[in-house]
Amino acid sequence: MSNHYRIPVYKPSLSGNEERYVLDCIRSGWISSKGSYVDAFEQQFAAFVGARHAISVCNGTVALHVALAALGIRPGDEVIVPTFTYIAPVNAIVYCGATPIFVDSDPYTWQLDPADVSRRISPRTKAIVAVHLYGHPADVGALRLLAQEHGLFLIEDCAEAFGAYYEGKHVGTFGDVATFSFYGNKTITTGEGGMVVTDDDMLAERIRRLKGQGLAPYREYWHDIIGYNYRMTNIAAAIGLAQLEQAEYFLHRKRAIAELYQQSLAGTFLEFQHTAPNVVHSWWMVSVLTPTAQERDRLRHILHQHGIETRPTFYPVHTMPMYSHRYERHRVAESLALRGINLPSYPALSDEEVQWICQVLTHTCSKTFSTPPSKYAPQVQPQ
């Protein structure tokens, strides 16, 4: 989140009770992983998403790791994961010694393609990681059916999808376990932090023990399993609780920003992430596609010149050096990655700022094509 931009791509909104709650932690001396704010944040987060258990951890990546570890994912196992994603779920699979099996994306919602998931299930497959990318839910209905049919675990990565709903239920309540991130650019933040949610009592207990150094519940300073130090601090939970109090406003404002972008950029060659009819998109990031990679880079450069920060969409993980040892093509994911732009999307962004960004984009797009095409199918750039 660069400070030299007139409009950054994201910045947190910390205008609620964050300061008051943090000062309360400092004055009380409860600043580490024990304290009332940890319990309150976990309880209220579970209630918000509709889960039985919410277990706080120190970031979203370790949430994924401890969830996979609690399910018993180990060397020799295969775990299906989208290639068009932030790298965290793939790394977490490898932390467990398992093998990530990459799948392609749906060209309209950008979520992992259930048909490709089905094709890649093998006797070694143990789990599917459904990443809800950019705030749009994955097709968890189809994925849950596949998981049940083949006896697989379903893990939901909700790092970018707080406030997103599938068929009326909050994401994170469909799989065996789900994870959330509270990094500084997420819809609600604790600076760094994460949450693991599940309805399974035994799994929740395993996660709590794993995140707390494997401490036995029946004897002080006695550890009967190898665990990790993945606990959230009381200070981070205090910030999270204050953020959760403002969550409905944040989500309302982000959806309004997305609608304004869509209205203002109608008629240009920019293509938005399509929203499936049975979901509520939380619009963590407002992202658009250009016709070509060259147009994407050109638009980003011009926005940069105007002091407007953007980010590219994620590079497919199968193209990164440590994961490219076997040759794979995932054509939709590769196309989305080459043509995508994340636009400023934070709740404090004003309507006037959104309209100014759209004016810059519209002017730049009009200089590219005299007649903007109405629709672009996913394209693959030469490699």
Domain boundaries, given as residue ranges, for the chain? 18-245, 247-366
| pLDDT value of residue 352 | 97
Cβ atoms of 155 and 127 within 8 Å: the answer is yes
Please say whether the dihedral angle defined by the alpha carbons of residues 61, 65, 68 and 74, taken in this order, is positive or negative. positive
Q: Which of 149, 133, 147, 97 is nearest to 340 (CA)?
A: 133
Structure pTM?
0.93
CA distance 313 to 342: 6
DSSP state of 308: B
Q: What are 373's two structure tokens?
A: 């095409």
| The predicted structure's pLDDT at residue 326 | 87
Q: SS3 for 30?
A: coil
CATH of span 18-245: 3.40.640.10
- In a 3-state reduction of DSSP, which class is residue 89? helix
Please state, in angstroms and rounded to a whole number, the distance separating the CA atoms of residues 21 and 29. 12
Report the alpha-carbon distance of residue 221 to residue 214 in Å, rounded. 10
Distance between alpha carbon 199 and the CA centroid of its chain, in Å? 21
Cα 126 from Cα 3, distance rounded (Å)? 43
Distance CA 163, CA 136 (A): 10
The CB density around residue 50, as the number of other CB atoms within 10 Å, is 13
Tell me, what's the pLDDT at 381? Answer: 40
Please state, in angstroms and rounded to a whole number, the distance separating the CA atoms of residues 129 and 89: 8
* Angstrom distance (rounded) from CA 256 to CA 348: 11
What sign does the CA torsion over 225, 228, 229, 234 have? negative
Structure tokens at 78: 């295969």
- Number of other residues whose CB lies within 10 A of the CB of residue 375: 6
pLDDT at 218: 86
Measured CA to CA, the distance from residue 84 to residue 253 in angstroms comes to 27
* Averages of pLDDT over each 10 residues, the chain, 383 residues: 78 97 95 93 98 98 98 98 98 98 98 98 98 98 98 98 98 98 98 98 97 91 94 98 98 98 96 97 98 96 96 97 94 97 97 97 75 37 36
CATH superfamily placement of domain 247-366: Aspartate Aminotransferase, domain 1 (3.90.1150.10)
Question: Residue 210 has which token pair?
Answer: 């794993």
Q: How far apart are CA 244 and CA 13, in angstroms?
A: 12
Strands 286-289, 169-170: pairing is: unpaired
The radius of gyration of the chain's CA atoms, rounded to the nearest angstrom, is: 21
CB-based contact 132:138 (threshold 8 Å): yes
| Chain centroid to CA 211 | 21
3-state DSSP: the chain helix, strand, coil percent, rounded to 5?
A: 40, 15, 45
Nearest to 127 by CA among 169, 74, 180: 74
Number of Cβ within 10 Å of residue 187's Cβ equals: 27
Compute the half-sphere exposure of residue 297: CA atoms within 13 Å on the CB side of its CA.
4
